[in-house]
Amino acid sequence: MSYLAPSVGPAGLSIAYYQDILQDNLQGFLNVYGQNQTIDPSSAIYQLLSIISLKHADCNAGLQLNYNQSSPVYAVGAGLDRLCKLVGIARRQATFSTVTLTVGGTAYSTITNGVAEDENGYYWNLPVSVTIPAGGSVNVAAVCSTPGAVVAEAGQVDIISQSSSAGWLTVTNSSPSTPGTAVESDSELRARFAVSVAVPSITLLAGTEADLLALTDVERVSVLENPSSSTDAYGNGPHSLTCVVQGGTAAEIAQVIYDNRGIGCNTLAAAGNVTTTATFISGASTITVTSATGLVVGQLLSDVTNSAAIVAGTAIAATYVVGSTTVPITVPTAAASGVGDTINFTLMVVTPVADPNMGGQVTNIGYVPAVPAPVYVTMTVHGLTGFTTATLTAIQVAVIDYLNSLGIGEPVVYSELYGAALNARSNPDIPAFSVRSVASALTSTPTGTSDLALNFYQVATATASTVLVTAV
């Protein structure tokens, strides 16, 4: 192709590339100094014009990059960040992994700015000040010093790295860490940008989803509408809007739903539909609930074992941690029966929202926090030429990434587990392994070979402890 000056047409910006620029410069030299001049690659003039042409091509490439920064489809890095500001969203920053540590030592010793280390060399910062009680040990929440998804399995955080207290003697973690998240990638932010432009949409439904996704700490959203006069297939009541949200805070989420919902739309229709049971041990006025779902929020409904132990409708603490197994809830002192009871409670969070434009009129807005559904996978692979332990790890990571990429309520497709594993191939033409067997389930002993259906409020999760890949 011959040299063309940069121009903008229907297809966007057109520029000349290195070879076209070089050939044009060489021809220009011949036109000036005569066609009999030597311009083969070994000549000095060829080398000089090559240098000049390369610089010209670099300038064109910079011009192309700058042009692309004006489009959310092609913009990258800081350019994409600037475009996102125009629609009121920002790139999600990395969060830090957390882990519950049991620290032990001399009673009444104070640990100041303590740091523990795991077997993989990551550091975990204790609270600024920790006092060991009379019993000689205490559980504390530690934060990883490295941002992103840092995984520490049970028992791996067992090294005292830094301490100003001679009384600190032991440290361990009885449960795995809760992984953080990496900085939002360009592709993820670009996808969220595409959704966010639906905020001024012609439908309130699309606007609700877009506004919820625009909240800084919200990771996933599923908005279900039931416009009919009867209960829908999910169990949600008539003329209702059910928002399932992963992450975020109750007050922000409720305000967004209130601002976007239609007049007279019921947001509490899922309350009787999204329920679970748990056992608690009473004590004083605080009860700690342990839930099989791994998430405890909402309101107490009834006590199966002792009907007088709780007051129906008592609110569970508004602060909860996704993936936690225990959450304190405050109930009347009279409810402290001192025994283990089985209770029913709803997973729906209900938050009152006051409208200043309506004289402070209060409306109760409900939503359902996405409930993590751990997916267990066992996979056996047979190593071929080039297979290493790194290949085994790559297969595990690929399967975990597939499972964690699924949306709220999205099923786990069995055949996709094979596809995810095959993504770990460095060269499809020369496979380093073959997949011999795959089993999956929502329980810790997977044997199934079928798709896994999830409830509309569940979201698949996977870690290195739930996805096991072995070589045969």
pLDDT, residue 340, reads: 54
pTM metric for this prediction? 0.58
Point out which residues pair with 157 in neighbouring strands.
118
Q: Are 341 and 280 in contact (CB under 8 A)?
A: yes
pLDDT, residue 313, reads: 47
pLDDT, residue 284, reads: 36
pLDDT, residue 164, reads: 65
pLDDT, residue 250, reads: 82
Distance CA 410, CA 433 (A): 29
Q: What is the pLDDT along the chain (472 residues), one digit of tens a residue?
A: 688 888 998 888 899 999 999 999 999 999 999 998 989 999 999 999 999 999 999 999 999 998 888 888 888 888 888 888 887 788 888 888 999 999 999 999 999 999 999 999 999 999 999 999 998 999 999 999 998 888 888 899 999 987 667 889 999 998 888 888 888 888 888 888 877 776 555 678 888 888 898 887 888 999 999 989 999 888 898 999 999 998 888 888 999 999 888 888 889 888 778 776 655 554 433 444 444 333 334 445 444 445 555 554 454 443 333 333 334 444 444 444 445 555 566 777 778 888 888 888 888 888 888 888 899 999 999 999 889 888 999 999 999 999 999 999 999 999 999 999 998 888 888 889 999 999 999 988 999 999 999 999 889 999 989 999 999 9
Q: Of the candidates 254, 292, 260, 256, which has an alpha carbon nearest to the alpha carbon of residue 276?
A: 292
Side chain identity at residue 219, one-letter code:
E
Distance CA 213, CA 222 (A): 10
The CA-CA-CA angle for residues 188, 323, 378, to 5°, reads 80
Give the pairing of strands 371-374 and 458-461.
parallel
pLDDT, residue 336, reads: 45
Concatenated DSSP letters of 302-328: EESS-TTSS-TTPBPPS---TT-SEEE
Distance CA 407, CA 401 (A): 12
pLDDT, residue 390, reads: 87
pLDDT, residue 316, reads: 47
Q: Are 192 and 209 in contact (CB under 8 A)?
A: no
pLDDT, residue 280, reads: 55
pLDDT, residue 438, reads: 96
Q: Of the candidates 207, 266, 218, 210, which has an alpha carbon nearest to the alpha carbon of residue 245?
A: 218
Side chain identity at residue 23, one-letter code:
Q
Q: Of the candidates 320, 326, 316, which has an alpha carbon nearest to the alpha carbon of residue 292?
A: 326
